[in-house]
Each structure stands twice: as structure tokens, then as C-alpha cells.
Structure 1
Amino acid sequence: MAPREPIHRGTGEPIVLLHPFLCSQNVWRTVADQLADTERFEVFAPTMVGHHGGPKSPTWLLHTEVLVDDIEHRMDQLGWDTAHIVGNSLGGWVAFELERRGRARTLTAIAPAGGWPHHSLSKYETVLKFIMGGPALIAARLLGPRILNVPGARRLATLPVSGPADGPSQSDLAALVEDATHCSAYLQLLVKTLRMPGLLELASLGAPTQLVLCEKDRVFPTPRGNRYFLTHLPDEARVVRLDGVGHIPMLEAPGAITELIADFVDDHSTPSGKAIG
């Protein structure tokens, strides 16, 4: 698939939306539309390097820095020195790294990855979960979205992404299957995660930050999946707990996620468009 054009809509405060591992900008479609429709925000949601519809990785050893460099380059092309950065899972990890580079007016991390030191049970548990999902990805690659019609396959597909059993819509699940089975960064990022530490220096964050935790998150389950963030984030960071939703809440409760992002951006913006905090 040729690189797809990022979602880019609206006018106002600049917001960058970053997707999870194995996914694409598609997971942000509804939230991006809702934010843009307020006429207060200019929303940019790209697909990251190595993911379906994103740029190809320039190297097999795909480090997080490559993902961050690409997003920085895209922001530069838009003329955005800074923006309100929102990331889910892997996108949350990239969001923290962008904040460290001074590119974030505010930071919203939704069920972020990277919450571990160099060696931790949480890191190895996370990698093991994705490795165990490998056979399902191979089957889905062979069958495509038709795999969702196989008895039990829909529930298997919803477990890692949603809280309730019914999960996202059929069209959203089909898009997830298509993205996951065409993610060339699958092995690259798992190897990178095993070899490298997670996020460091969280206590030195300079931008207003909110951490969003999802009650039914089966990728980073509470408490062990987010203990690192709760321990190391600055005391002034806002922690929001969402009931009943899974790892990718934009697909289950887009209205709630839109409101959460919009309120946080509004709280840390001035009428002139300059972030405060």
C-alpha cells in the first residue's frame, strides 16, 4: 500500500494524534472529526513509520527515535514548532519523547507504552503477549477481514482492544485486522523493546501532562501495567481513569475521548493560541 495521506482537519489549536502499535491513523477518525468540528482545533493524525500506510522504515533496527524523528519532520512541514500531543499505547511513548524534545504544548498519554526500566516483568509480559498473537496475525493475513466471521474470532480480536465483549464496530475491527496484518514494524519494534529500556526521566516533564488509564486494558492491566508511570510522573500530572473501556478507547467511547482531549487543551491554552501551564 502506498503511504496514505494523514488526517488533517480543522483550524485552531494544533493537536497531533498518535496511534498504537499495529494500528494506523484510522483509530482516530471519529475523534479527529469531532475535535475539528468544534472549530477550535487543527487536528493532524499521521500513520507512523513501519505501520500500514505509513512511511517505510529506513532500517531494520527500528528504534523509537525513528518514529519520533518522522513526527517531528511532519510537524516542521506544517510549520508547527509545538503542538498538543496525544498518544495511545506506542503513540503515547512517542508523545513522551516528543515532549522531551520540547515539541509539546501539552501531553495526553492514553494507556501509554514504555512504562518500564531496562529489565522488568511488565516489559517481558507485554512482548510475550504480542508474540503469542503472532499465529492469529498469520491467520488473519491469509483470510483478511473474513477471519472475523470464524466462530470465536471476533471475541479474540476484541480482547486486546476493548472492554466489553461486543467491542468496536465491524468496520473498525476490519480496519484493525487490515492494519495489524500489514504492519512491517511488528518484529522490529518487539526486538527493539526487548533490547532497550522504556521511558526515562519522566519526573522532568515540562509540559502539562495527563495520564489516561483504562479500566479494562488487557495490554497494560492495572495495577502492574501502569505502576511505573504513577510512580515516576511529576506530582502535578493529571491522572484520569476511564471505566469500562479497553486499550484503544477511541473506538469504544470516541465522544468521551474527544471531550477529555478538548477540555485539557482548553485548560492550558490562551485565547491567542499560546499554551499556558
Structure 2
Amino acid sequence: MAQQLAETGRYEVFAPTMAGHNGGPRAGTHFLSSSVLADHVERQMDELGWPTAHIVGNSLGGWVAFELERRGRARSVIGIAPAGGWHRWTPAKFEVIAKFVLGIPLMILAWLLGARVLSLPFSRPLATYAISASPDGVGERELRGIIDDVAHCPAYFQLLVKALMAPGLQELAENAVPAQLVICEKDRVIPAPRFSRHFTNHLPDDHRVVELDNVGHVPMYEAPGRVTEVILDFLDDLVEHGAEAIEPPAS
């Protein structure tokens, strides 16, 4: 998807790998949080010489995108099935944590067996359950990449520990830049409307909501073209109306 955006020639695109994830920088801490992840992305923006950017994030990346907005680093924010839509003691938060705890056995198998785990019975439905609307929504090559990412992701455990006590996004009402929420119809990780309600209730009234039908929690695998179109429609509209030229206030 990042490549599709870059190939339009209309925007410079940077797709960071977050700390503690496969290929990303070391977290530098035993307990990760969205704030620590935002610190790492912010440093990379500084290295690029980007004081602000249009920030797009999926799932945990969506949570980090809104964290960066609070720091004055976003010109606009697009959250694709963003996490963080809860308060400290909201039952929904513990539901999500429980889902990731249930995924630990598969993660251990991925660590032990690598791509060979896909030869086990029911491995594809289990591996794609939290990602796509159907087991066939992810290609074989992509699925092998996902298994490799899972097997090399210490952040998986580090985030679970911190998430038990940490609140979600608490200051959405103070969002000062154009925002778009993208809801995935077949999302099994943070299904709407229970998990999107926090955003629709607390974001300023001028935020936009788009629903992608028949896609799971990570729609870039099943419908990269549709996701790219949603992003471009939003950004092009901002550019056309001059909203992208407005610098966000410092937080």
C-alpha cells in the first residue's frame, strides 16, 4: 500500500517499522507503550526533517498516529481500525488483551517452526483469523511474511504487560487536525461499533468515517487498492481545500 501511494508521485511516503517489531529498532525498554512507540517514530521524522506529516496508521499504528497528533506532529490523521478506543478500566480493553493472549500458542509455534507451521492442520484459518475476513484473503507469500514477523516480535509480550494498566486514547476531543476513521466490516479484533464508538463519540464533530466492507482487521492484505483510494480521497480533499497547509498547534 505504501508503494502504491508513493507511485502516485503526489506524496512522499515513509513507512516505519515500529520499535520491537520485526526489522525495527530495539525498544530500549522491557515494557512498551504507545507513547514509547511514538517516541521512536518522532525521532525518525526528525531524521527525515519532517516537523509534521499526514499520518496513517492501522491497529496499534492508528493509536500511535493519534499520539503523534497530540504532540503536534500530524497535519492530518487516518486511523484504520485503530486500537486505543477505551479507557483504563473499560472491559473492551481486557477483551482485546485476552484475544492476544489466546494467540500466544500460535506465536510460540511460529517461533519454533517458522513457515513450517503453515503445514499444520487448520494453520491458515488460525493465522488469518485476526487479519482478514476469510482465510483466502492473504496470499501465501504474505502469510509467510506474517509468520516471520510474529516470530520476531518481542513487542507482542511487552505491549501486553503495559496495556494491562495503561489507558487508551484519552484526549481525542482535543484533536486539532483533520481526522478520518476507517472501520473494517469484518474486523474480529476490534469490531465496530463497540470499539469504534470511543472514536466517533470523542473525536471533534468534523471527523470523517469510512467503512470498508468485507475486509478484516488489516485490510491492506485483502484490498490494498481500496485502502489506497480511501487515503488519497481524504488527502486530496484536504489539499484541494487548503486544509493541509494549516500547521497543527504545538501540544
TM-score (ref. length: structure 1): 0.86
| Residue 144 (structure 1) aligned with residue 114 (structure 2) | yes
CA-based RMSD: 1.6
The offset of 1:274, in angstroms, is: 4.9
> What amino acid is the match of 1:231?
N
CA distance in 2, matches of 1:170, 1:42: 29
Contact 1:268 1:276 in 2 (8 A): no
Structure 1 residue ranges without an equivalent (≥5):
1-30
The offset of 1:191, in angstroms, is: 1.0
Tell me the residue number matched to 2:98: 128
The offset of 1:262, in angstroms, is: 1.1
CA distance in 1, matches of 2:75, 2:82: 18
The offset of 1:153, in angstroms, is: 0.5
> What amino acid is the match of 1:73?
R
- What is the 5 A alignment of 1:58-137? 58-137=28-107
Query: Percentage identity across aligned positions?
Result: 57
Tell me the residue number matched to 2:170: 200
> What amino acid is the match of 2:187?
D
Please identify which structure carries the higher helix content: 2
Query: Alignment partner of 1:268: what SS?
Result: helix
CA distance in 2, matches of 1:241, 1:61: 33
The offset of 1:273, in angstroms, is: 10
CA distance in 2, matches of 1:51, 1:262: 27
CA distance in 1, matches of 2:34, 2:126: 28
> What amino acid is the match of 2:197?
R
Tell me the residue number matched to 1:251: 221
Tell me the residue number matched to 2:154: 184
Inter-CA distance 121–272: structure 2 relative to 1 (3 Å threshold): closer
Tell me the residue number matched to 1:49: 19
Structure 2 residue ranges without an equivalent (≥5):
none
Alignment partner for residue 175 of structure 1, among 145, 149, 165? 145
CA distance in 2, matches of 1:273, 1:51: 33
The offset of 1:271, in angstroms, is: 9.7
CA distance in 1, matches of 2:191, 2:145: 24
CA distance in 1, matches of 2:53, 2:170: 22
Contact 1:269 1:276 in 2 (8 A): no
> What amino acid is the match of 2:183?
L
The offset of 1:275, in angstroms, is: 2.8
Consecutive aligned runs of 4 or more in structure 1 exceeding 3 Å deviation: 270-274
Point out which structure has higher relative CO (alpha carbons under 8 A, 6+ apart): 2
TM-score (ref. length: structure 2): 0.95
Contact 2:76 2:244 in 1 (8 A): no
CA distance in 2, matches of 1:157, 1:61: 25
The offset of 1:197, in angstroms, is: 0.5
| Residue 160 (structure 1) aligned with residue 134 (structure 2) | no
CA distance in 1, matches of 2:53, 2:95: 33
Alignment deviations for residues 190-222 of structure 1 (CA, whole Å, 9 cap, x no partner): 111111100011111111000000000000012
